[in-house]
A and B are shown apart, each in its own frame.
Chain A
Amino acid sequence: MSFEKRLRGLFALLAAMVLAVGVAACGDDDDDGGEETTGEETALIESNPDNEGVELTIGSKNFDEQFILGEIYAQALEAAGYTVNKELNLGSEVIAKKALEEGEIDAYPEYTSTTLTSLYKVAPEDVPGDATEAYELANAELQADGLVAFPPTPFTSANAVGLLTETADELGVATISDLEGVSEDLTLYGTTECRQRIDCLLGLEENYGLEFKQFRPVDPELRYEVLDNGDADLSILFTTDGQLFVDPETYTILEDDQELLPAGNVIVTATQDIVDEAGEDFSSTIEKVQENLSLEVMQELNARVSLDREDPADVAADYLSASGYTE
């Protein structure tokens, strides 16, 4: 790195440190109206010896963001003194929920939108836009099944129809509805399950009434490559993708004007039994450790895995220590 850059970085760090000290000093003034922040509460997770006897199995679904989240929660709970096993890479939400109900795992990170549209068959347009409302609705449904959802993360994630910005300019499209009449000449790439998902091709065909020249299933990890190499005209992307953060000019997300692709916050979903067994630290650790997960932070973490090719476990560990949750 050039000397100038390092110098700039150093200044940024010093500025940040000064501000951090300043904010911490004024930390008693809470204007967020949420959890009470007493002067003594620190970010650091403390290990509670009472938790040692509790064994937790944390699961996750099978894509990068889920691996990161699973690792974050698992490592945080470990820091809190629990004995933690990880069963990441389970599969779709249906498989994950089944694992939860059958006791294979104790908790996993789900999205409010997916819970409602996929697990409980709520129509996409009926998914509440407000994060708290969506959370409460999802929680109510889950509790009927003996499950519990924890309060949501700050960030939301949604499926998105994306394409190269130059293609969007050529076609003159800005919203998904704009694709009407144009989509017959376009090839869409998505996951193999996209054809059966209401928040994917099925919904695009039924709700938007779009027909595509061709739909090709592809591994979700290739969703940007197929745009880059010209195989795909359109690709199903996620709004939390690191690529959108790092390369915002290259890719365009079409606006979901008919509200087919609801945004969902992450809600850790667990069994009522484990919540009862694990005690206070379970919920307080989870809620604490997700507070720093804004959209930009999640995109940065995703970028570290998909672009910098780092291990999700390392990325999660860096996040936890940079936030001060762990040493």
Chain B
Amino acid sequence: MTWFELPLAQLDESFFRDRSDSDCIADNGAFCVQWVVDNFGDRYVTPLLEHLVLVAVSVVLGFLIAFGMSLLSHRRRWLVPPFIGVTGVLYTIPSLAFFFLLLPITGRGTDTAIIALTAYNLQIIYRNIVAGLANVPAEAKDAGRGMGMTDRQLLWRVELPLSVPEIVAGLRIATVSTVAIATLAVFAGGGGLGEQLVGSNLTFKTNVLVVAVLAIGMAIVFDLLLLAAQRRLTRWQRRDAPARRRGLIFRRGEVWSPG
């Protein structure tokens, strides 16, 4: 080791670390627990919170918009195909492309990310609300009408409650997808867990695994929470649920394909 003398300060041999002992990080080990423990707060907490916000806001926003759309199209069936078509196009555009298409218009930042994520949600949630409303058994509607309900009362007191399983199923799918896509929000300047996957961190095995666990874990947690909500809201429908759920998947492949 060469000694070097400098006018004002001196860095001596002790500044240079002894790396002859290989350790987990130097070997780029698959999961260096100590490092994770030491660095979790600095590196992952903020992106995790940013990610949560991105997902929560986009799903809620997507639900509100889709719900409004379904109210509009409920008594005007002719609106359904164009709504499905437009939201379908938004869904087809790859999310990364969507971010960059928005950039010149809305600039870099969280807002752009949220707009894109919300647009992506629309088709899933809208389709499910409409499917749910369409699945309401005719007898229930007849009973309602027989009791003298107006259209509005019928909608809010009979049709929507009976559609809850489909709606929540749609929210589950939308939420899980949004958690995954929000990893790309970093490219729009929106932060999120994807921040830890660009640049040098792409080869850092421990880091990649931590992000994977956090992202997939978040999706699972949201899914389970919504599943629990779904169960609670439909306790009285439990008997019918399995058959109808299967029917939903089948129908999605057949009835709802554009063209």
Contact = CB atoms under 8 A, between A and B. Distances in A.
User: A contacts B directly in the complex (CB < 8 Å)?
Assistant: yes
A283 B1 CA distance: 31
A307 interface: yes
Contact of B10 (A23, A35, A219): A23
A149 to B, nearest CB: 21
A246 interface: yes
Contact of A23 (B2, B5, B15, B200): B5
Given A9-B14, A324-B9, 9 more contacts: A16-B12, A23-B5, A27-B7, A34-B7, A43-B8, A62-B199, A222-B202, A303-B19, A311-B43
A227 to B, nearest CB: 13
Interface residues of B, number: 29
A300 interface: yes
Interface string B1-43: 1101111111111111111000001100000000100000011
Interface of A: 5, 9, 12-13, 16, 19-20, 23, 27, 30, 32, 34-35, 37, 41-43, 62, 64, 219, 221-222, 225, 246, 288, 291-292, 294, 296-297, 300, 303-309, 311, 322-325
Contacts of B25: 307-309
Interface of B: 1-2, 4-19, 25-26, 35, 42-43, 199-200, 202-204, 207
Contacts, number: 82
A42 B8 contact: yes
Given A219-B202, A221-B203, A19 B12 contact: yes
Contacts of B6: 291-292
Contact of B203 (A34, A222, A297, A325): A222
B8, B19, B35: most-surrounded residue (chain A CB, <10 A): B8
Given A41-B8, A288-B8, A291-B7, A307 B19 contact: yes
Given A221-B202, A222-B202, A222-B203, A16 B14 contact: yes
A20 to B, nearest CB: 6
Contacts of B16: 296, 300
A246 B16 CA distance: 10
A307 B26 contact: yes
A221 B199 contact: yes
A299 to B, nearest CB: 9
A297 B8 contact: no
Given A9-B14, A296-B16, A225 B26 contact: no
Contacts of A19: 10, 12
Contacts of A324: 8-9
A308 B1 CA distance: 20
A322 B15 contact: yes
B214 to A, nearest CB: 17
A292 B203 CA distance: 30
B138 to A, nearest CB: 59
Contact of A43 (B2, B9, B12): B9
